[in-house]
Amino acid sequence: MTDSAPPVDEEAESGETEIPEVNVETLHGSAVTSNNGQTVLHPNKDDYYDLVQILKDEGYGVCVDLCGADYLGNETRSLPVTISAERFELVVNLLDVHASRRMRIRLQVSETNPAVATITDIHPGAEAMEREANDMFGLEFEGHPDPTPILLPDDWQGHPLRKDFSMGRIPVQFKAVDGR
């Protein structure tokens, strides 16, 4: 009977651990998911503008919708494992009218740096929608041609659709019911 030494784990000796490779479908460098049959792209902030330009070149010529979402206190959203959740999300819906197809973009936007590139030079119709997302959520669009408020007075403080925005209260007084 011979003594055989147990196999040596070279990774354990070197202090390195192997990270399992994650296979995430991508399109134009952005993670891809599907929601109700619609393709959803999850770019990082640096690739957002270029992705919108590429999609326009591929036929997605109409920006149907652009809006913000505040996920403060809500950890239930589903994201690809390669995407880190942030408090805010910018959601852009694009339409290719010639091929009857849609594409959604979900961009994570941090609370500490809520600035993203404007897409108004690619989709001029997004101009008012970006101003609304700025008014309601405080998302900033770098390079926007007119960043003035569109829904709120110029001197308005805060962003009404943020989940931590104070609504204010008006006291209500009811007449006493005397039981008659």
In eight-state DSSP terms, residue 46 is G
Residue 128 to residue 85: CA distance in whole angstroms? 26
Q: Per the domain annotation, does 147 fall within a domain? A: no
The whole model's pTM is what?
A: 0.81
The boundaries of the domain holding residue 87 are: 25-142
The CATH number of the domain where 89 resides is what?
A: 3.30.460.80
Residue 15 to residue 21: CA distance in whole angstroms? 19
Q: Per the domain annotation, does 178 fall within a domain? A: no
Q: Per the domain annotation, does 60 fall within a domain? A: yes
Q: Per the domain annotation, does 164 fall within a domain? A: no
Report the number of distinct structural domains present in the chain: 1
- Residue 136 near residue 128, CB atoms below 8 Å: no
Q: Per the domain annotation, does 168 fall within a domain? A: no
- Residue 98 near residue 113, CB atoms below 8 Å: no
Q: Per the domain annotation, does 95 fall within a domain? A: yes
- The pair of structure tokens assigned to 23 is 């296979």
* Total residues found in the chain within this entry: 180
Q: What is the pLDDT of residues 5-56, one digit of tens each?
A: 555 555 555 555 565 566 889 999 999 999 999 999 999 999 999 999 999 9
